[in-house]
Structure 1
């Protein structure tokens, strides 16, 4: 079970979403471990973005613009530096510039519109914006925009994209605050207009054309986080890391 508290109004510096994952043994039902899920979610999300850059980008990605400086943005930055060593440039923009001071080996962008006008092959939006910061002017042939946050991309930008790709489409389209699903509920986007999903990318070898403009909506399924949490817990048990707690001591002495 993954439990998340979304905190649009928060009086502290903790993330906007706080999550825990509880893993139970599939056969016995006995709890095996409790994990803080923020870093797991960020790693899984960045992994999906890596697949988008590798498989759904119209052209080989050489220059990436990263929007945001929080937990997800930092995970994406590590992903870019580790999995894409051939990148010629990583630009980073954030609404609060002081958060960028600790970043190294990146190009700090102070003006979002000027940054979007630069020849970046990919734009990764990892902010907590509840109103779009990406409009139709940002859509360019050969560019992929990967939306990780809630509502960072305008309906006009999605309409201007020649290909719309998702990690998955499901019942969550009826309630998610993601830009694409808001657009769907507003009657301005149809499910059949999705060009591809992760399965099509990985199994069917779907690829865009070099002059396509691709919008990739990353929703993120909790079951992926739970699977990753189970794998991390298994590794922790093997390496004897973490704190072992006795859940049932004193309970089973009598009938």
Structure 2
């Protein structure tokens, strides 16, 4: 065990190895974090957005959080999103997570966190799909062909064993082509169709995940199709117009947090002057405190702001795994006595 002043550094490859084939456990951790937060056993300040006057598309976000027992940990994620990195063939997002001891306040670990962020986001989306979709899923749509939607597919395929057909779209065709290859590495029998527009995805399948870099809405109408129901995982938060939001069923992770930073939910709140269009939280759905669809063809939209409690919960899970597996680089006496 590390001494009180020691710190464990965990690199991306080490975290990937610890989380390999742990999708079900990660979903358990994320659900537990959500439920503890709903019980008031967390402290979750608003995220702080650092933006830059010369390039408004770039940002760095600080997400501090505390989560009570059994995690009993505090921490902060510092995550940068620089969309132009995609053109440089490097990752759009980079992140670091710092965990702090609740006994001393000293840092326990510094770990690469873009993978943690992707995994907890995907687990959140999969939990939502599991609880919002009425039946087994055989087909899904993905708008945005980056790491987040790839991870969401990985988690969805764990839940929905019959998921064998995907319809995908990305504004950059080469990213869609790369996505096809990566999905087939995960699930060789999966059949993929590359759409020519986001609208084609929306009209083709009852479960759609949006994970893009959109800063403002670009979807102003949902296709009228004969589906039993439609579930939209609005992971990137800003793709859909406030008019669509306010006229459909909305589930969120935290109503206070998601009504910020010009998310589609935030724009709808500004338009309507209230949040009556929010049906409830994902925990409300999981614990069956609310009923969802009044009509069989209703559309449900899940908008998760992305809560720091998920990062510290998964970070603590990883930290414990690293100690048990003697993984990571230990820096002794990081803080002098």
Which of the five TM-score ranges fits, normalised by the shorter chain?
A: 0.7 to 0.9
Corresponding residue SS for 1:196: strand
- TM-score relative to the length of structure 2: 0.67
Please name the residue that 1:243 is paired with. Answer: 329
CA contact (8 A) 1:58 1:211 kept: no
Moved >4 Å (runs of 4+): 8-11
CA contact (8 A) 1:58 1:143 kept: no
Residues 21, 33 of structure 1: alpha-carbon distance in 2 compared, 3 angstrom cutoff: same
2:227 paired with 1:143: no
Please name the residue that 1:24 is paired with. Answer: 100
Gaps of 5+ in 2: 1-75, 185-189
Higher relative contact order structure (alpha carbons within 8 Å, sequence separation ≥ 6):
2
Please name the residue that 1:82 is paired with. Answer: 158
CA contact (8 A) 2:176 2:194 kept: no
CA distance in 1, matches of 2:305, 2:273: 16
User: What's the offset of the Cα at 1:205?
Assistant: 4.5
Q: Which has the higher strand share?
A: 2
Corresponding residue SS for 1:170: helix
How many correspondences in the alignment? 247
1:105-163 Cα deviation digits (max 9, x unpaired):
34132312233222x111100111123243323366610111001411112322342x1
Residues 139, 216 of structure 1: alpha-carbon distance in 2 compared, 3 angstrom cutoff: farther
CA distance in 2, matches of 1:245, 1:51: 36
CA RMSD of aligned residues (A): 2.3
Residues 240, 115 of structure 1: alpha-carbon distance in 2 compared, 3 angstrom cutoff: same
Gaps of 5+ in 1: none
1:212-237 Cα deviation digits (max 9, x unpaired):
21111111101111111011011011
